[in-house]
C-alpha cells in the first residue's frame, strides 16, 4: 500500500493534484488508514500514470475520463479510443499552425525593432495597427 505522497512521487503528480483527481472522480476513493490517511494499492499507480501521460499529451480531463472508462472494458472495439486520440491530434495540429503564424509575426516585430524610442517602436506600432500585420485573425482569443 502506498501513501498519497509515495503514489504522487511514483507517478510524477503532485499530492494536491491526486486529491483533486479523486474529488472530480477520476480516481476512486482509496481505503484509509486508522489515522484517516489515504492508502493506495499498486493498481492506483497504473491509473494515475495513465492520467498523467494523457495530460502530458494535452488530453483534457473529460477525454481522459472517457479513455479510462474505455480501458476498463477490454472486449469492446477501440473505435472510440481511436476517435478521441484523433480529435486530440487534430486539436494539436490546429494549435500548431496557429502558433507558427504567431511565431512569424512576433519574429517580424522583434527583428524590425530599431531599439530607438517608443514612438518609433515596431512592437508597439504593429500591436496598435492591425493593417500592418500579415496574419489572418480568423478567431478571437490568443489560444484555445
Which residues make up the interface to DNA (CB under 7 A)? 3-6, 8, 14-17, 19-20, 32-38, 55, 60-62, 140-141
Residues in the interface with a second copy (CB under 8 A) total: 64
Packing angle between helix 61-71 and helix 79-112, nearest 10 degrees? 150
For residues 103 and 90, give the distance between their C-alpha atoms in angstroms, rounded to a whole number: 20
**Residue 31 β-bridge partners:** 39
In the list DNA, a second copy, none, the entry touching 76 (Cβ below 5 to 8 angstroms by class) is: a second copy
Rounded to a whole number of angstroms, the distance between the first and last alpha carbons of the chain is 40
According to CB under 8 A, which residues from 25 to 84 bind a second copy?
Answer: 46, 49-50, 53-59, 67, 70-71, 73-79, 81-82, 84
Cell 483533486 found at = 20
Residue 130 interacts, among a second copy, DNA, none and using kind-specific CB cut-offs from 5 to 8 Å, with a second copy
Quick one: DSSP state of residue 140?
S
Per-residue string for binding with a second copy, 88-117, x by CB under 8 A? xx--xx-xx--xx-xx-xxx-xx--x-xxx
Residue 88 in contact with residue 57, Cβ under 8 Å?
A: yes
Which residues neighbour 56 within 8 Å (Cβ) at sequence distance 6 or greater?
A: none
Contact 7, 18 (CB under 8 A): yes
Based on the shown chain and the rule CB under 8 A, indicate whether residue 131 belongs to the binding site for a second copy: no
For DNA, which is the closer residue by CB, 14 or 135?
14
- Residues in contact with a second copy by CB under 8 A are 12-14, 46, 49-50, 53-59, 67, 70-71, 73-79, 81-82, 84-86, 88-89, 92-93, 95-96, 99-100, 102-103, 105-107, 109-110, 113, 115-121, 123-124, 126-128, 130, 133, 135, 137, 140-143
Amino acid at each position: 500500500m502506498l501513501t498519497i505522497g509515495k503514489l504522487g512521487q511514483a507517478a510524477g503528480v503532485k499530492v494536491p493534484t491526486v486529491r483533486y483527481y479523486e474529488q472530480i472522480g477520476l480516481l476512486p476513493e482509496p481505503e484509509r488508514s486508522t489515522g484517516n490517511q489515504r492508502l493506495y494499492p499498486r493498481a492506483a499507480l497504473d491509473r494515475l500514470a495513465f492520467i498523467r501521460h494523457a495530460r502530458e499529451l494535452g488530453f483534457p480531463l473529460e477525454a481522459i475520463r472517457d479513455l479510462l472508462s474505455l480501458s476498463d472494458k477490454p472486449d469492446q472495439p477501440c473505435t472510440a479510443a481511436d476517435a478521441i486520440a484523433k480529435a486530440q491530434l487534430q486539436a494539436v495540429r490546429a494549435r500548431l499552425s496557429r502558433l507558427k503564424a504567431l511565431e512569424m509575426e512576433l519574429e517580424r516585430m522583434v527583428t524590425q525593432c530599431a531599439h530607438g524610442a517608443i514612438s518609433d517602436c515596431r512592437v508597439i506600432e504593429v500591436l496598435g495597427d492591425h493593417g500592418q500585420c500579415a496574419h489572418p485573425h480568423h478567431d478571437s482569443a490568443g489560444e484555445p
